[in-house]
A = this chain, B = another copy of it.
């Protein structure tokens, strides 16, 4: 199945209309190990309004297609979700690594994260782990 077919199916499954802008966003995010911000997306996507991008990103996030993670500047970055995310629940409790040099945010989803027990009285909905440091590319320079 081609990427395009896959994307179209994904949109249909989530009751989102198949539009050029959405397909382009998906193709820019898929197979990336790092998360992407709206400003970065805007600079490469071509002829799509900036507001439309914000709206596509939040629609995708609500549907469980992408997940949001903040970088070191507090800017939202987005990456494709694990397969088992949906509009009711995200399962992206993997480690996000922020490179202090190149500012990339890596989704290290192959790592298992330990369980965290909260103090009594707190009701946990979602956990997240993040690290700051140097990524392999920046370390080799």
A111-141: CB near B (< 8 Å → 1, else 0) gives 1011011110111111111111111100100
* A47 CB contacts on chain B under 8 angstroms: none
Chain B residues contacting A135 (CB-CB under 8 Å) are: 121-122
A110/B114 in contact, CB under 8 A:
no
Q: How large is the interface on A (under 10, 10 to 19, 20 to 34, 35 or more residues)?
A: 20 to 34
Is A108 part of the binding interface, using a Cβ–Cβ cutoff of 8 Å?
A: yes
For residues 13 through 28 of chain A, which have their beta carbon under 8 Å from a beta carbon of chain B?
A: none
Q: Given the known A-B contacts A74-B74, A129-B129, are A134 and B122 also in contact in the complex, defined by CB atoms under 8 Å?
A: yes
A53 to B62, CA, bound (A): 35
CB 8 Å contact bits of A57-95 with B (1 = contact, 0 = none): 000000000000010001110000000000000000001
Separation in Å of the A82 CB from the closest CB of chain B? 17
Closest B residue, CB atoms, query A124: B133
B130 close to A128 (CB less than 8 A)? yes
A34 to B74, alpha carbons, bound, how many Å?
18
Residue of B nearest to A95 (CB): B116
Best-buried of A95, A100, A121, A123 by chain B (most CB within 10 Å): A123
List the B side residues contacting A95 at CB < 8 Å.
Answer: 116, 118
Q: Residues of A at under 8 Å CB distance from B?
A: 70, 74-76, 95, 97, 100, 106, 108, 110-111, 113-114, 116-119, 121-136, 139
Q: What 9 A-B pairs have minimum CB-CB distances, sorted nearest first?
A: A121-B136, A74-B74, A125-B133, A123-B134, A126-B132, A114-B114, A124-B133, A123-B133, A70-B74
